[in-house]
């Protein structure tokens, strides 16, 4: 899950959504709580202000908050609660010393029921209703000197209470249960939980779907990449419908796949060609030995068989050697490079092929000047021998082969030019390809492996150089090797 981008995305979604929902819920709850208490407090104040009842000359409570101290004395001199004990007014007063009916009725069902108490200056309860047991006379911190008394709100247990100072330093307490508000809060919490849960679920589901949408191209790309194996390298990622962000990745992958396919194709072709080349000599050996073993051949005929097999085996050895050379060069197997004179190597090679040249009535001309280079001398002699034998074999009697080595400040050049049959321009493109033969029949007779020029090219390129061919049919061919100095 945590190794999956989609899983992590989903986790982040969930965390963020949860934080948002929780803070939203908490804010909503706090606001509601605040509003509730505000309302309760306003209500309690209204109730509290109904003590003492109006008509006793005291002012409405809001005047208590006035800053005008000098207008206060009439109020403070008023002792309305003492009327409780004046007979004629008692009945009326008693009615007034109850909670207002709207308040009592509204919260009649709550537990505890709404209550109030009025304490005299001496701490005696002057009047009360439903006062929870154990309620002691509250302390009112405000003193006369401090200014007008401030109603004090407190929450006691599940009840909200208001204490204010009444006339004559009496204290009035009004309280009621918070039950309805708690119920409402619970309801809200429940509602918030349900709504939050639904929002969370919808959000997560949406996130899942969106992340799947977002991951779809990646999934498709990986599916394509998975489908690409050695046996099926031609598949490509569809770039047409890929988003811009992923198109680049897809292009890079496709380019890699293309290179891979090319390499595999080349390898396959090479293996097929190599095995094809080996089939013929193997066929010769098998067919001839089987025939020799099956029949009764004379000693002379058996000798012929052995000679044939020997030739075939030689051809196979040459081919295997050529393949090994190519493989070594391809693998970048390094030999210790040495500093040597290319013209000396060229002269040695020329000496080696001279008998072949005179056998084919071809003149070999040398035009070499000293040219020191860094490289593997053995490999260069292989290149030069290869080019020289080709130049002799594909020449005409009385023809010419010219070998030149020169060096200037920029590069060392070696050229092998002949006056032979030439190579058509369309064949020129392919002469360095492995197993490519311009004249198959002639090449077969000469026992060529079809790898000679490929090997030359590989060696020259491994030395940082380039080999090129220029040829005119019927005029001759010129191979040129150019090695930059200080490579």
Partner 1 sequence: MRLLVVEDEPDLLRVLARMLREAGYAVDTAEDGEEGLHKALTWTYDAVVLDLMLPKLDGWQVLDSLRKAHDTPVLILTARDALDDRVRGLDGGADDYLVKPFQREELLARLRALIRRAAGKPSGVIEMGDVSLDMATRTVTQSDAPVNLTAREYALVELLALHRGELVTRTMIYDHLFDENDDTLSNLVDVHVANIRKKLGKDFITTRRGQGYMIDV
Q: Smallest gap, in angstroms, from Cβ of residue 298 to partner 1?
A: 12
Q: Is residue 140 within 8 Å of 152, Cβ to Cβ? A: yes
Nearer to partner 1, 450 or 452 (CB): 450
CA quadruple 358, 360, 361, 362: dihedral sign: negative
DSSP-derived letter for residue 86 is S
Q: Smallest gap, in angstroms, from Cβ of residue 304 to partner 1?
A: 8
Contact pick of 288, 371, 384, 458 for partner 1 (by CB under 8 A): 288
Q: Smallest gap, in angstroms, from Cβ of residue 302 to partner 1?
A: 12
The residues with which 471 forms a beta bridge, in sequence order, are: 477
Q: Smallest gap, in angstroms, from Cβ of residue 445 to partner 1?
A: 7
State yes or no: residue 284 binds partner 1 (CB under 8 A): yes
Q: Is residue 127 within 8 Å of 84, Cβ to Cβ? A: yes
Contact pick of 142, 179, 224, 280 for partner 1 (by CB under 8 A): 280
DSSP-derived letter for residue 70 is G
Q: Smallest gap, in angstroms, from Cβ of residue 264 to partner 1?
A: 16
Cα distances from 81 to residues 10, 112, 129, 172, in angstroms, run 69, 26, 15, 11
Residues 294-353 that bind partner 1 (CB under 8 A): 294-295, 297, 301, 308, 311-312
Residues 429-468 that bind partner 1 (CB under 8 A): 439-441, 444-445
Nearer to partner 1, 189 or 292 (CB): 292
As a whole number of angstroms, the distance between CA 331 and CA 400 comes to 37
As a whole number of angstroms, the distance between CA 363 and CA 390 comes to 14
DSSP-derived letter for residue 232 is B
Q: Smallest gap, in angstroms, from Cβ of residue 229 to partner 1?
A: 20
**Sole window of 125-133, 275-283, 374-382, 403-411 interacting with partner 1 (rule: CB under 8 A):** 275-283
As a whole number of angstroms, the distance between CA 46 and CA 40 comes to 10
**Sole window of 17-25, 103-111, 121-129, 286-294 interacting with partner 1 (rule: CB under 8 A):** 286-294
Count of alpha carbons within 13 angstroms of residue 34, beta-carbon side: 6
As a whole number of angstroms, the distance between CA 136 and CA 123 comes to 9
**What is the CA 64 to chain-centroid distance, rounded?**
71
Residues 77-136 that bind partner 1 (CB under 8 A): none
State yes or no: residue 286 binds partner 1 (CB under 8 A): yes
Nearer to partner 1, 150 or 308 (CB): 308
Nearer to partner 1, 10 or 308 (CB): 308
Q: Smallest gap, in angstroms, from Cβ of residue 290 to partner 1?
A: 4
Q: Write out the H or E segment, with its range, that includes residue 19.
A: helix 5-49
State yes or no: residue 276 binds partner 1 (CB under 8 A): yes
As a whole number of angstroms, the distance between CA 464 and CA 457 comes to 11
Tell me which residues touch partner 1 (CB under 8 A).
Answer: 276, 279-284, 286-288, 290-291, 294-295, 297, 301, 308, 311-312, 439-441, 444-445
């Amino acid at each position: 899950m945590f190794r999956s981008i989609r899983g992590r995305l989903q986790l982040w979604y969930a965390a963020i959504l949860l934080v948002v929902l929780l803070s939203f819920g908490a804010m909503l709850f706090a606001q509601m709580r605040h509003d509730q208490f505000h309302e309760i407090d306003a209500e309690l104040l209204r109730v509290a202000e109904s003590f003492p009842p109006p008509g006793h000359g005291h002012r409405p409570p809001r005047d208590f908050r006035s800053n005008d101290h000098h207008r206060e004395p009439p109020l403070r001199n008023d002792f309305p609660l003492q009327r409780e004990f004046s007979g004629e007014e008692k009945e009326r007063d008693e009615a007034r010393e109850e909670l207002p009916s709207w308040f009592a009725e509204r919260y009649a069902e709550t537990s505890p029921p709404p209550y109030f108490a009025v304490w005299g200056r001496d701490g005696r309860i002057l009047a009360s209703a439903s006062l929870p047991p154990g309620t002691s006379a509250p302390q009112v911190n405000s003193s006369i000197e401090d200014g007008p008394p401030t109603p004090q709100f407190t929450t006691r247990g599940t009840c909200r209470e208001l204490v204010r100072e009444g006339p004559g330093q009496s204290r009035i307490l009004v309280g009621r249960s918070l039950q309805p508000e708690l119920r409402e809060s619970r309801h809200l919490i429940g509602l918030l939980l349900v709504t939050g849960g639904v929002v969370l679920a919808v959000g997560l589901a949406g996130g899942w779907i969106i992340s799947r949408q977002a991951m779809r191209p990646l999934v498709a790309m990986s599916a394509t990449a998975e489908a690409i194996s050695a046996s099926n390298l031609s598949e490509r990622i569809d770039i047409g419908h890929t988003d811009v962000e992923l198109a680049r990745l897809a292009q890079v992958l496709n380019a890699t796949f293309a290179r891979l396919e090319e390499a595999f194709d080349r390898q396959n072709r090479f293996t097929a060609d190599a095995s094809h080349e080996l089939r013929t000599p193997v066929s010769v050996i098998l067919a001839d030995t089987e025939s020799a073993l099956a029949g009764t051949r004379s000693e002379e005929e058996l000798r012929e068989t052995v000679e044939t097999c020997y030739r075939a085996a030689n051809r196979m050895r040459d081919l295997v050697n050529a393949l090994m050379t190519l493989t070594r060069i391809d693998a970048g197997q390094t030999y210790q490079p040495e500093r040597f004179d290319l013209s000396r190597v060229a002269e040695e090679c020329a000496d080696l092929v001279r008998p072949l040249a005179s056998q084919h009535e071809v003149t070999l001309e040398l035009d070499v000047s000293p040219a020191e280079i860094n490289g593997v001398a053995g490999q260069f002699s292989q290149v030069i021998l290869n080019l020289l034998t080709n130049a002799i074999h594909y020449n005409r009697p009385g023809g010419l082969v010219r070998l030149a080595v020169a060096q200037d400040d920029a590069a060392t050049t070696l050229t092998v030019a002949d006056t032979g049959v030439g190579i058509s321009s369309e064949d020129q493109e392919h002469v360095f390809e492995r197993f490519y033969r311009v004249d198959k029949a002639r090449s077969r007779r000469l026992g060529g492996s079809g790898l000679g020029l490929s090997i030359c090219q590989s060696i020259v390129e491994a030395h940082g150089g380039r080999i090129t061919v220029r040829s005119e049919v019927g005029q001759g061919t010129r191979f040129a090797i150019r090695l930059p100095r200080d490579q």
